[in-house]
Structure 1
Amino acid sequence: MPSPYVRRRRLAGEIRKLRENRGLTTDDLARLVFHSRTKITRLENAQIRPDLTEIMNLLDALEITGDEYDRICKLAREASQKGWWDRYGMSMGPRQKLYADLEYSAAAIRAYNQTAMPAVLQAPEFIASLVDLDRCQGKLDYLPERMTEARMRRQSELLRSDGPTYETVLDECVIHRLAVPPRAKIAQLRHMIGVVSQDERITVRVLRHDTEIPGGFLPKSAFYLYTFAEAGDPPIAVIDTVTTDLVLTQRGEVARYAAIYDRLRKVALSREDSVNFLDRVAKRLTDQSGSQA
């Protein structure tokens, strides 16, 4: 199944283009199909799941026929599909639903993590500690048990035989600065080592805290890059901020983040050296805390 979110973005662009080519405003189109302007705007911004019947009526109103009609209906049908993550409603959190959607049909995922361990590589004990940290900041917008279940499902989907390649550059400061109990941190490091060691498609590259990054300014936030197998699905960059995730699809904007990622990857430790580094940190924490291996 292709990503419904990616298909919604493509469908949104098609509808906007059809409207503009006919010299119509959003108000004009709304009146033409007996919808509100708000609904048309949300459809053109990929903010709602499309209704196939409504899309067909819209195409009829715009006198779209033939191959173009069939192509856009196919996009609308795929954009309206539901994935495994929809069974969780909002209990897993809206941001995690977006990532689950994009991950499901991605061919390759690249990420830079400067504030958190990769969500799709987290251990249950570590996730529980993150929930405790989140509670310190206010009311949760998800159910912890369902969020944890969904996050582990994301991991199983990532590791399925036809899953995407995944590479993350992990800033070393995350390991030291994240205030979780030593046992949880040790469990997370060992879990990550185990996943990487067992699957060649999964790579973690540690960016040491004292490494210079030449070629430009430092990255200002964590971000994720997604590419897809189908040629019509453009690469996407998602920028992680405190309150929301910014989704970028403009070619130039995505290319800038891809270039930043390449700079980070170039100076980060190799896959093997990163695993060895994580192992040393886990052993040191175990010795310091008296935890059992």
Structure 2
Amino acid sequence: MTSPFVRRRRLAAELRALREARGMTADSLSRLIHQSRMKISKLENAHIRPDLAEVMKILDALEVTGDKWHEIVRIARDAAERGWWDSFGDAMGDRQRIYADIESGAETIREYQPGAVPGILQTPEYTWALIELAKAEGPIGYLPERLAEARLQRQRTVLCPGGPPYEVILDEVGLRRFSVPPEVMRTQLHHIINIAETEPRVTIRVFPLVTGMVETLMPRSQLILFTFPDPSDPPMAVAATVSADLFHTEPDEVARYLRRYGYVRNAALSEVSSLTLLGELADQIIDQAGPHT
């Protein structure tokens, strides 16, 4: 399916551009269609699911006709679609719900992860260990059981036959500086190796501790790059922060993140060497933990 989140962002940009081309303010448009200024703002910033009838009213108010009218209505229909993640509501966590939405329509996914293992590669035990860490920090905004269930569904969606090619670069620092129990981390590393060896569309590489001179600015946090089948849906770069994710589709911004990802990829170990290192790290974890783990 086409990602509703991606289409909501495209619809927002299209409606804003059409309104501005008519020289009309959001206030004027809201009065014409008898809606609040806030409603127009949320629609033009992709903060709400569109109502198809309201989008048609906007197009009529902006005197949009012909092929453009049909194009915008098609985008609005896609933007209003619901996916499996909607049945979870807020219980799976807002951030994970957006990722599930985007992944559902992605053509390719590339990810640099400097810390925790990406959700698509996590074992249930690893996921639950992270949940316990989050609970120790304070109140959480999701239901643990539903989050864990949704994460498994995300994995089935991305790793299913016909799913998108998925490339992950794991930072050796994050692999060595783990925060889950040693036995959980060891099992997790073997799980990653197994996925890489059995899933032909999944590529796992490790960004090593020692790389020599860094030729460009490094990604400062988790970075995910998406492309989509429809060339009219622009590539997307997502930079994660502690409390929120930043979604970029502006060509200059996406190009900047592509350069940073490209450096990490060029400096990463080969696929074979990466899997060898993951196996060695798994053995080291148990050796260092001792017989009581």
- 1:28 is aligned to 2:28: yes
1:1-293 alignment, distance < 5 Å: 1-212=1-212, 214-289=214-289
Amino acid at match of 2:153: R
Helix, strand or coil: the match of 1:42? helix
Residues 213 and 130 of structure 1: CA distance in aligned 2, closer, same or farther (over 3 Å): farther
Partners of 1:194 and 1:153 in 2: CA distance = 19
Partners of 1:15 and 1:125 in 2: CA distance = 45
Helix, strand or coil: the match of 1:217? coil
Amino acid at match of 2:44: E
Residues 281 and 52 of structure 1: CA distance in aligned 2, closer, same or farther (over 3 Å): same
Partners of 1:53 and 1:218 in 2: CA distance = 46
Alpha-carbon shift at residue 111 of structure 1 (Å): 0.9
Helix, strand or coil: the match of 2:35? coil
Helix, strand or coil: the match of 1:180? coil
Normalised by the size of structure 2, how large is the TM-score?
0.96
Amino acid at match of 1:194: N
Deviations 1:32-60 (A, max 9, x none): 11111111111111111000111111112
Alpha-carbon shift at residue 273 of structure 1 (Å): 0.9
Amino acid at match of 2:283: K
Deviations 1:73-128 (A, max 9, x none): 11100000001111100101000011111111111111111121111100001111
Residues 291 and 162 of structure 1: CA distance in aligned 2, closer, same or farther (over 3 Å): farther
Percent of pairs with identical residues: 47
Alpha-carbon shift at residue 217 of structure 1 (Å): 2.3
Helix, strand or coil: the match of 2:92? coil
Deviations 1:227-251 (A, max 9, x none): 0111111000011001100000100
| Contact 1:11–1:72, Cα closer than 8 Å, also in 2 | yes
Partners of 1:246 and 1:16 in 2: CA distance = 20
Partners of 2:38 and 2:116 in 1: CA distance = 36
- Unmatched 5+ stretches in structure 1: none
Alpha-carbon shift at residue 282 of structure 1 (Å): 1.0
Partners of 1:133 and 1:193 in 2: CA distance = 25
| Contact 2:103–2:158, Cα closer than 8 Å, also in 1 | yes
Partners of 1:104 and 1:244 in 2: CA distance = 20
- Unmatched 5+ stretches in structure 2: none
Normalised by the size of structure 1, how large is the TM-score?
0.96
Partners of 2:176 and 2:135 in 1: CA distance = 21
Partners of 1:17 and 1:236 in 2: CA distance = 20
| Contact 2:218–2:264, Cα closer than 8 Å, also in 1 | no
| Contact 2:176–2:281, Cα closer than 8 Å, also in 1 | no
Partners of 2:182 and 2:291 in 1: CA distance = 8
Partners of 1:213 and 1:286 in 2: CA distance = 33
Partners of 1:218 and 1:231 in 2: CA distance = 28
Helix, strand or coil: the match of 2:180? coil
| Contact 2:186–2:286, Cα closer than 8 Å, also in 1 | yes
Residues 37 and 212 of structure 1: CA distance in aligned 2, closer, same or farther (over 3 Å): farther
Alpha-carbon shift at residue 129 of structure 1 (Å): 0.6
Count of paired positions: 292
Q: Which moved more, 1:278-287 or 1:19-28?
A: 278-287
Residues 213 and 221 of structure 1: CA distance in aligned 2, closer, same or farther (over 3 Å): farther
Alpha-carbon shift at residue 290 of structure 1 (Å): 5.6
Partners of 2:106 and 2:218 in 1: CA distance = 27
Alpha-carbon shift at residue 213 of structure 1 (Å): 5.2
Kindly report structure 1 stretches of 4+ aligned residues shifted beyond 4 Å. none
